[in-house]
Amino acid sequence: MPRQYPIEKVRDFGIIAHIDAGKTTTSERVLFYTGVSHKIGEVHEGDTVMDWMEQERERGITITSAATTCFWVPTYDKGNKGNEHRFNIIDTPGHIDFTVEVKRSMRVLDGAVVVFDGVAGVEPQSETNWHYADEYNVPRLCFINKLDRIGASFERSYQSILERLTPNAVPLQIPIGLEDKFEGIIDLLRMKAYHFEGEKGEKMTEGDVPENLKAEAEKLRHDLLEKIVEKDDALMAEYLDGKEPALADLKRVLRKATIGNELVPVICGSALKNKGVQLMLDAVVDYLPSPADLPPTKGTNPSTHAEEERHPKDDEPLAALAFKVAADPFVGSLTYFRVYSGTLSRGSYILNSTKNNQERIGRIVRMHANHREEVEEIYAGDLGAIVGLKNTTTGDTLTDPEHPIILESITFPEPVIDVRIEPKTKADQEKMGIALHRLAEEDPTFRVSGDPETGETIIAGMGELHLEIIVDRMKREFGVEANVGRPQVAYKETVKGSAEAEGKYIRQSGGRGQYGHVWLKVEPMERGAGFEFIDSIKGGAIPQEFIPAVEKGVREALGRGILAGYPLVDLKVTLFDGSFHDVDSSEFAFKVAASMALQEACTKAKLVILEPVMKIQTIVPPDFLGDVTGDISSKRGRIKAMGERGTVRVIDSDVPLAEMFGYSTALRSMTQGRGSFNMEFSHYEEVPANVAQTIIEGRKK
Ligand code: GDP
């Protein structure tokens, strides 16, 4: 079947928001207006279309990243089927414990609508998500939602975007009224007022700008025009000549500037009260890129290691990225992918170039809000899901076997918290293993390991809520109940300096001997750099066949830890000398020698313990400011900024995760229940010597 929608009429975008800003409600309305959803469900009724996992409904948060397809004809072109666009909406989660989902979706979407709460404006997590979007150069629209709420302010929310996110934000709209008087929206480019009638706001009407808002609208329109014409010399010349630029020209230039991340249009509404969502969809068509608007995708040829490019064209060789593996209750596993170039066809053989495996493509589906559509092909720029793919995990590239390429993968943060778990009954042991393994396949920031000494199972993730949800899913989806221990901080070890050391494992008395001998050098690397192994053996001091065993010995020793049993990170290990024996040398002997040399070199290079430090934002009434800041300082916290927001005070600080357990209860009692906070991972940092001593002693017990 040929392509139904030209690539220019495709939009792959996501709706990103701080938890509670209204992403679920907005997505719902989008599906309703796009005609896919036949019934508006309220979040509290628990029947939203996008939330398909049971517990998401209960918690009211969205944690899966699925791609949903729907269709939209811009309202200014109503009834013109020829201008229908295909939207692939890539779901992103609201809660910070799932930043991984946000990151993975950023990698595959071309544009984003960022939803803000019109009362709170920019919240801490909006900043984090904004920075992820910056990392991937994602063009954005800002949607200031909830203007019907008491205390809502378009102006203040817009200012917080300007101050805290980007100076390039420009309002395209302003609200007519606020709070319970919020009734409609003025479009500054068209200078028209829009009202939304009918039970679900489905009847949008266009009218004149109300008299009382004319002066303000004129002024803002003037500012907006200046910002737009600045981006285009020809338009600028016209404008300076006193000519009124044409709407089509303004839209064209604004579109280009938005896609180039030079301007960020700001629009507004109330998803709950059914106002403004249709205009938001028009803005997606008008200002967010189609796959053809973006630069070609880059990757590496796995055989030549040369950089290559793929263009979003159906007749180029296939290059697709698997961005999510999800267990599906109906069809088993679903591998979501995005095609960057070429066409992915049912029944074809493709190469997973990341793993160097051939795979046969079975059924391909496209997910709509309330049904799945079986398709034969997915074309360049589009998204879909493959049913039952065996050996492909998140971040793998799927390519034409004749023209392989490996696209840039998705990098995920390391878990910061872990907890021991055991099944409630012995009989569940095996089932628990299978369940955890499956869940880890879906979620790259969730890890499972075993404690080699006690045989216990340890699970690790991005926060307490993340792990709670995993345990919950294990119970619901796999029927395994578990006892969960106290969450522990995932400390790491690293070296402060450089050092060299020798490791010898030589046994040559009687029978077959053992001979392994290496010299290693360890050097620190920057935070977050991980681990690098370098083989600089010259002149065959150690035969090539034993080098992998040396690396293995090093990696195993790093994983076991040295100072307090925490894994070592952020260091470079160079193998630079050694010797061997013709008969007695073995992989085993080199592995042991490497592990001995590593331990000694690291000890000489001075070992330290690293701990995760969290970015905290605490919001309290002024009366409690002193108590709360004092408490933060007593937690080894660093206060970075204090500000006012309306009647409350906002404290930004960095606090070690180890000090944060039980903070919500403590804060509640300190502030008579009136304080709240937000927490997310920031970075790893060396722990002070006295704390390190306590950690080491604690581990010895
Ligand atoms: P999410 O966590 O970002 O997905 O937010 P939800 O869509 O679940 O919304 C959180 C809460 O805010 C729910 O109680 C919604 O009913 C409410 N909400 C969402 N949009 C609006 C809005 O435009 N106005 C008002 N007053 N409440 C809203």
Regarding the beta carbon of 617 and ligand 1, being less than 6 Å apart is answered: no
Give residue 93's pLDDT.
63
- pLDDT average, residue stretch 638-649: 84
The full DSSP string for 240-288 is HTTPPPPHHHHHHHHHHHHHTTS-EEEEE-BTTTTBSHHHHHHHHHHHS
Judge whether 619 and 684 are in contact, CB under 8 Å: no
Compute CA distances 75 → 72, 81, 83, 111, 438, whole Å. Answer: 9, 11, 10, 20, 44
pLDDT surpassing 80 at residue 39 = no
Residue 271 has pLDDT above 50, yes or no: yes
Which of 31, 43, 65, 101 has most ligand 1 atoms within 8 Å of its beta carbon, as the pocket-test mutant? 43
CB 114 within 8 A of CB 142: yes
Average pLDDT value for residue range 278-301: 95
In the prediction, which pLDDT does 392 show?
86
Is the backbone of residue 177 left (phi > 0), alpha (psi -120 to 50) or beta? left
- What separation in Å is there between the alpha carbon of 24 and the centre of ligand 1? 7
Q: What pTM does this model have? A: 0.71
Binding site membership of 146 for ligand 1 (Cβ less than 6 Å): yes
Beta bridge partners of 574: 521, 534
Q: How far is the CA of 358 from the centre of ligand 1 (A)?
A: 45
More confident residue, 126 or 389: 389
Whether 126 is in the pocket of ligand 1, judged by its Cβ within 6 Å, is: no
Residue 116: DSSP 8-state: E
Mean pLDDT of the chain: 87
Alpha-carbon Rg for the chain in angstroms: 28
Pocket perturbation via mutation, ligand 1, pick of 23, 25, 274 by most ligand atoms within 8 A of CB: 25
pLDDT 10s digits, 160-169: 999 889 999 9
Pocket flag, ligand 1, residue 24 (CB < 6 Å): yes
Q: How far is the CA of 192 from the centre of ligand 1 (A)?
A: 27
* Residues 185 and 279 sit within 8 Å (Cβ to Cβ): yes
Q: What is the DSSP letter of 528?
A: T
Best residue for ligand 1 mutational test, from 15, 20, 143, 178 (most atoms within 8 Å of Cβ): 20
Ligand 1 atom with least separation from CA of 19 = 2
Q: pLDDT tens across 180-236, in order? A: 999 999 999 999 999 998 777 878 899 999 999 999 999 999 999 999 999 999 999
Measured distance CA(688)–CA(692) in Å, rounded: 6
Instruction: Yes or no: say if 503 and 518 are a contact pair by the CB < 8 Å rule.
Output: yes
User: 616 near 636, Cβ under 8 Å?
Assistant: no
Q: Is 29 in the pocket of ligand 1 (CB under 6 A)?
A: no
Which is more confidently placed, 106 or 350?
A: 350
Query: Which residues fall within 8 angstroms of residue 293, CB to CB, at 6 or more apart?
Result: 110, 259
3-state secondary structure of 411: coil
Expressed in angstroms and rounded, the spacing between residue 386 Cα and the centre of ligand 1 is 33
Ligand 1 close to Cβ of residue 50 (< 6 A): no
**How close is the Cα of 89 to the center of ligand 1, in Å?**
19
In order, the DSSP letters of 570-594 are SEEEEEEEEE--TTTB-HHHHHHHH
- 506-527 pLDDT, tens digit per residue, is 988 777 789 999 999 999 999 8
**48 CB near ligand 1 (under 6 Å):** no
Q: Which of 371-385, 404-418, 594-608 has the lowest mean pLDDT?
A: 404-418
Ligand 1: does its nearest atom lie under 6 Å from the Cβ of 466?
Answer: no
The better pLDDT of the pair 346, 455 is held by 346
User: Cβ(448)–Cβ(458) under 8 Å?
Assistant: yes
pLDDT, position 539: 86
Q: Is the shortest distance between the CB of 270 and ligand 1 below 6 Å?
A: yes
20 lines ligand 1 (CB under 6 A): yes
Residue 44 has pLDDT above 70, yes or no: no
